[in-house]
Structure 1
């Protein structure tokens, strides 16, 4: 019953968020903008997104090694694709992360607690990289008055975060630098994806405000409460574009195309869902 309730809630929140977004924008204008986008830039953005998946898979692989799992890079990548497919297209039940924990516990006998810790730390490193890049963009490009206060808060938070790793998460401490570099690599690669989407629309203005909105919406992927972040990401682009005085139609169009690209990149996972073993 809990699985059905979770699925219903996710579908309901996603539907409501999309309804709210589309009732506040010109759907026709967005449709026309997307259909007129440059397919070559979109193809490049799809390929670049696939590169970002390699960063994500490698980061998770490193965390699994800290949990005592010795998986090949290829095996781990297959498992990653299976997980993202579950998250994107099968939103009910345990989800992609839950399935990976269940599967690895069953196949290799690794404690669920260790696997859960690895998955949680993977998400935490993603959240850290998002905060880092958002603050750096505010500091160097937007130059808001509180940017230095944000930088100070980030520095203190990072120091505390580092020592928590050192004293409470000893098996993962030696992985701290590599996993966080991979987390930054993942987010920077996805910023290239968004930039290519903007180029596909022929946009020649300032990219940074759109990139900041994208990073802010990235928390929907770290802690998802809609299907694949759909709806929630568009809400952030919709209202964030008001704050930065941006073209709302363009902002939401970027968000929609990013979702389409991420969905297409997740499709190979269906092969591993249908197989009995990854």
Structure 2
């Protein structure tokens, strides 16, 4: 009876979180609708250059490919050896879960569970790997944001704060890994530079989106995008920041005296790039991404299989 009560409690908790995300997303779009005319947004979308948008989609997909390479470095740090191709398939499935199944198991949690079942990999270590992967991406995002803040704001005090913030951020992350996640210290610099590559691909993606709309390539839009990306990290809305990202774009455009309509369009097109890149992960729902992986002899006998409830 107690187990059933726990299951019901968890189910209600997940449903409540999903409903809260739906409400927050709806409120964001309601607020935006009071500030802009969505019919103008639709007209501008129809006039976009779809060839340039196609390139933007490919750049976003490339950024996710580089993210998969980064994560595999962390896996190798804990002696979890997966081929790059198998890891990419698993990563793409996780992307699909994160974007399209917000009320179900998250993509990161799924990766941890399937790696435990396949390799008897430690929950603690694999969880640390996927979380550090996220934080290393956030660190790279912060560093690039500091660079664009210096370029856009161009004030001595702001420049000093941004440069100091970038170095302090890198230093704190390095010391945290060295102190608490020693298994991963060898991968710190490789994952940091892969993270920079990931974020730069997405920045270039935004430039192509802007070009497709005939928008001047102003650095202010990139700074707004980077701020919106940080906000979207917090899982408070649907689809990895849907609604909250558009809100930041609209308000950021107003702050820099830009057109908020254009800001919302850029944000929605970036979300479209995300959808078109992630949707292919659905294939691996029905086709085990690790079915061709050879499990080393004796791994199956290392420990009894842990159920998903143990996660």
Size of the alignment, in residue pairs? 277
Please state how far the C-alpha of 1:178 moved relative to its aligned partner: 0.6
The equivalent residue for 2:261 is 249
Q: Could you tell me how far apart the structure 2 residues matched to 1:272 and 1:234 are?
A: 30
The equivalent residue for 1:148 is 160
Q: Could you tell me how far apart the structure 2 residues matched to 1:76 and 1:221 are?
A: 25
Among candidates 25, 29, 34, match of residue 14 of structure 1: 25
Tell me, yes or no, if structure 1 residue 180 matches structure 2 residue 192: yes
The equivalent residue for 1:107 is 118
Mark the runs of 5 or more structure 1 residues left unpaired by the alignment.
none
Normalising by structure 1, report the TM-score.
0.95
The equivalent residue for 2:175 is 163
Please state how far the C-alpha of 1:181 moved relative to its aligned partner: 0.4
Q: For 1:38-187, list aligned pairs within 5 A.
A: 38-144=49-155, 145-187=157-199
Structure 1 residues 243 and 102: CA distance shift in structure 2, 3 A? same
Q: Could you tell me how far apart the structure 2 residues matched to 1:158 and 1:29 are?
A: 42
Please state how far the C-alpha of 1:52 moved relative to its aligned partner: 0.9
Q: For 1:239-278, list aligned pairs within 5 A.
A: 239-278=251-290
Larger Rg: 2
**Segment drifting more, 132-141 vs 265-274:** 132-141
Structure 1 residues 124 and 66: CA distance shift in structure 2, 3 A? same
1:126 and 1:222 in contact (8 A); partners too? no
Q: Which 4+ residue blocks in structure 1 deviate beyond 3 angstroms?
A: 220-223
The equivalent residue for 2:207 is 195
Please state how far the C-alpha of 1:132 moved relative to its aligned partner: 0.4
Q: Could you tell me how far apart the structure 2 residues matched to 1:59 and 1:92 are?
A: 27
Please state how far the C-alpha of 1:81 moved relative to its aligned partner: 0.6
2:141 and 2:199 in contact (8 A); partners too? yes
Please state how far the C-alpha of 1:255 moved relative to its aligned partner: 0.1
Q: Could you tell me how far apart the structure 2 residues matched to 1:264 and 1:83 are?
A: 15
Q: Could you tell me how far apart the structure 1 residues matched to 2:261 and 2:247 are?
A: 12
Please state how far the C-alpha of 1:157 moved relative to its aligned partner: 2.9
Corresponding residue SS for 1:174: helix
Q: Could you tell me how far apart the structure 2 residues matched to 1:153 and 1:46 are?
A: 31
Please state how far the C-alpha of 1:45 moved relative to its aligned partner: 0.7
Please state how far the C-alpha of 1:221 moved relative to its aligned partner: 4.3
Normalising by structure 2, report the TM-score.
0.85
